[in-house]
Amino acid sequence: MKKILFLILIMISQHAKSNTVINFAKGSFSGTVTDVSTGKHLSGVSVYISDAKVGTFTNENGVFFISNIADGNHLVEFSHVGFNTFALLINIIGDIKKDIFLSESVVENNAVIITGVSRASQLKKVPFQVSVLRKEELQQTTSTNIIDAITRKAGVSSLATGPAISKPIIRGLGYNRVLTINDGIRQEGQQWGDEHGIEIDEASVSKIEILKGPASLIYGSDAMAGVINIITNIPTPMNTIKINIGSNYQTNNNLTSLYTNVAGNIKGFNWNVYGTKKAAADYKNKYDGNVFNSKYNEQNAGGYVGYNGNWGFSHLLVSNFNLKAGLIEGERNITGKFIKEIGNGQTLEASDADFSSTNPQLPYQNINHFKIATDNNFIEVGTCLPHNKS
């Protein structure tokens, strides 16, 4: 926040020295979205401007309206389940109205992405190979962590050292050859050791962009294999409040999770608060049965708060990720049964209660990743008018 105030003071002082004022021009974008084959209006279509981080959904009549947009060129993305994603470059000058037509499709081929470029662009115009996963796709896959969820994409795999720890591998390269970005901030913990994973909860993710191939010129030498850009916070439509609750259960290790978030956008003031709690017992395989101490607990809480105006946007992001994961040693007694440590160098045979418990036993690791960051975009628009001196 201090940085924001400092920038504002600098801007004010500069305008005072030059005896100028900036008149911010703001406009709106509205229209109707229609199915090109049937002529019916489409409700629930997502209309989103990536660079300005504003958006809305069409109503039951297919009508959308976005206000308080800075004048200038903006890339607008129209997306709906079962239809081709449509991207359109709009020059906002005052109030703009345009009707949109979408065609049915089961394959998305024109997504809007920001990875590998300086601002939002259409996927087909980017000279990099980029894969896009939306929240709907992530919810349709069974996984124990965010990296497992993205291995469905060609060229992407993972190195796992337990059900809760996975590291991204792109075309055979990993560690400090793959860069992970979360809401514009480098997520570097997973690069430095086998027992370090991505400290991000998959339930909080809205969109993932995977750049496969060298991106060193843009992101640095640690992006030799590619970039994984994870986006969690996307503002809700204007003057709406949304509450989401989700859960997950997996039979192999009795994994249970509960996720909830509350997001809103009232006259440009927008926020999103989320929380996840996850617990898993020991997983099973056909060779060992239950693998002792493969259990883990995970909690994640965070969100953002900010304001979107015709001058741009300013957001404050906070997240706190905590993982307590057991470390598998695989020690057994003379009968081949798993054993557990009870202190003072003594051990006991692991019981059924130990296998079904979700509380990791010795040895285990406790990982906590706390992050606070700001995301700002100030747009200089309008004209500078000199003061009249008398």
How does residue 6 score in pLDDT terms, banded at 50, 70 and 90? very low
- pLDDT of res. 295: 93
Q: Which two tokens stand for residue 53?
A: 């981080």
Average per-residue pLDDT in the chain? 79
- pLDDT of res. 237: 80
How does residue 380 score in pLDDT terms, banded at 50, 70 and 90? low
pTM exceeds 0.75 for this model: no
Average pLDDT over residues 209-237: 79
- pLDDT of res. 71: 81
Q: Which of 154-163, 168-177, 231-240, 361-370 has the highest mean pLDDT?
A: 361-370
Is the pLDDT at 287 greater than 90? The verdict is no
- pLDDT of res. 111: 63
Rounded to the nearest 10 degrees, how much is the dihedral formed by the CA atoms of 12, 17, 19, 25? -30
**In this structure, is the dihedral angle defined by the CA atoms of residues 129, 135, 140 and 146, taken in order, positive or negative?**
positive
Q: What is the pLDDT of residues 95-108, one digit of tens each?
A: 889 999 998 875 55
Query: What is the bridge-based pairing of β-strands 207-212 and 129-134?
Result: antiparallel
Q: What is the pLDDT of residues 184-205, one digit of tens each?
A: 788 876 666 677 778 888 888 8
Instruction: Tell me how far CA of residue 243 lies from CA of 118, 240, 273, 313, 381, in angstroms.
Output: 32, 10, 10, 23, 35
How does residue 121 score in pLDDT terms, banded at 50, 70 and 90? low
Going along the chain from its start, the domains and CATH numbers come out as 16-105 (2.60.40.1120), 111-232 (2.170.130.10), 240-378 (no CATH)
